[in-house]
């Protein structure tokens, strides 16, 4: 039995790891592709387009650009000539040739550089809209809660998820009392705040019971972390794209409001690092594909917004320098700008390290 549990744990870990790498890879690919396409459009020499960091696992040169897949998947880059101070060595000839032809990043007008830098986050928003649209295409538009006790979604980490309940399960009894409607079932669960209760569940042709403890929510009610199934209205492809775009703008607005509340202290700062995100991706994958697609879209929007923050070393910090240059109508000292970005990069590394340590202590 212990061997089976250990094997199941390993499989669950591998599923989470693979899903996390795919999700992060997709987010990074779209972000860097934004920089890449804008740079190509602006006739900037792109020396390398890479997914990941560290040693190259696969590397192929097509035209003037090298495309590579690197060992560590948590990142990526689009290396443009003249984006950083000139590097000495074998790349210097390529750099000098690009400079001679006016194809270096710093040689382009400020407005073009602004677009190249901003396109990373814009592509993250585009990806989110596409993912939301896919959910609408394949699952339809939720229009009303279903009157049954069928579970539509399970909140990762909630009592229902810990007990093994899944989307699609039907609750047929609560503490031995048959239930047929959602409100009736929810009312019974609220009668057992933080008390163990037995729930009988039907999953396809299988009927089984689970024991769990409802948690007290912010509104003071007891709940187990489930949402009702919903009645969905089929949408055409074009309508799905439109609804996906609208939902993207709504989430962007909500996240900016949440960021404002965290900055002003109206809401507690809740920041998760790679470890926590990986855990949440694994939980979302276990709930179902629609939940995973929605969660990936949400993370993509988060990534886009974070990169637009006016912090040195992030795209937002670089955009601030470009805006200042446009206002002054005069280029800034590249060495001073590079120093500011370096300090910001060191600060970000320290912050990420602290967040990872905190996440590990919470998980383990």
| Residues designated as active site | 32
Q: Are strands 197-203 and 222-223 parallel, antiparallel or unpaired?
A: unpaired
Side-chain half-sphere of 236: how many Cα atoms within 13 Å? 2
Counted residue by residue, the chain has a size of 364
DSSP letter string, 126-140: HHHHHHHHHHHHHH-
* Residues 226/153, Cβ–Cβ less than 8 Å: yes
DSSP letter string, 53-78: EEEEEEEEEETTEEEEEEEEEEEEEE
Between CA 337 and CA 294 the distance in angstroms is 38
Angle at 271 between CA 266 and CA 274, to 5 degrees: 170
* Residues 232/142, Cβ–Cβ less than 8 Å: yes
Specify the 3-state DSSP secondary structure of 243: helix
Side-chain half-sphere of 224: how many Cα atoms within 13 Å? 31
Closest CA to 251 of 297, 217, 213: 297
Closest CA to 78 of 108, 48, 117, 55: 48
Between CA 60 and CA 82 the distance in angstroms is 22
């Amino acid at each position: 039995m212990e061997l089976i549990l250990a094997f199941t744990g390993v499989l669950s870990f591998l599923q989470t790891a693979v899903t996390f790498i795919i999700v992060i890879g997709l987010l990074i690919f779209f972000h860097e592709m934004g920089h890449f396409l804008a740079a190509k459009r602006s006739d900037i020499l792109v020396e390398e387009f890479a997914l990941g960091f560290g040693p190259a696992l696969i590397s192929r040169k097509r035209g003037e650009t090298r495309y590579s897949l690197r060992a560590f998947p948590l990142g990526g880059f689009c290396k443009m000539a003249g984006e950083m101070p000139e590097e000495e060595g074998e790349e210097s000839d390529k750099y000098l040739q690009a400079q001679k032809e006016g194809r270096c990043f710093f040689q382009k007008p400020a407005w073009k550089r602004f677009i190249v830098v901003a396109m990373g986050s814009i592509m993250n928003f585009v990806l989110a809209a596409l993912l939301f649209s896919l959910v609408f295409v394949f699952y339809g538009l939720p229009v009303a809660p279903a009157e049954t006790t069928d579970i539509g979604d399970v909140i990762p980490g909630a009592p229902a998820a810990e007990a093994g309940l899944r989307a699609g399960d039907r609750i047929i009894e609560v503490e031995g009392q048959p239930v047929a409607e959602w409100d009736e079932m929810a009312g019974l669960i609220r009668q057992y705040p933080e008390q163990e209760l037995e729930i009988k569940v039907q999953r396809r042709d299988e009927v089984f019971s689970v024991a769990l403890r409802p948690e007290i929510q912010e509104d003071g009610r007891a709940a187990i972390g489930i949402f009702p199934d919903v009645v969905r209205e089929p949408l055409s492809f074009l309508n799905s794209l439109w609804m996906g775009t609208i939902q993207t703008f709504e989430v962007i607005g909500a996240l900016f409001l949440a960021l404002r509340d965290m900055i002003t202290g109206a809401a507690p700062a809740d920041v998760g690092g790679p470890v926590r995100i990986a855990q949440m991706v694994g939980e979302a994958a276990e709930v179902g594909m629609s939940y995973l697609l929605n969660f990936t879209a949400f993370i993509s929007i988060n990534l886009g917004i974070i990169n637009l923050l006016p912090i040195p070393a992030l795209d937002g910090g670089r955009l601030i320098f470009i805006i200042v240059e446009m206002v002054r109508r005069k280029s800034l000292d590249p060495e001073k700008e590079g120093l500011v970005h370096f300090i910001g990069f060191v600060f970000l590394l320290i912050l990420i390290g602290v967040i990872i340590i905190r996440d590990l202590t919470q998980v383990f």
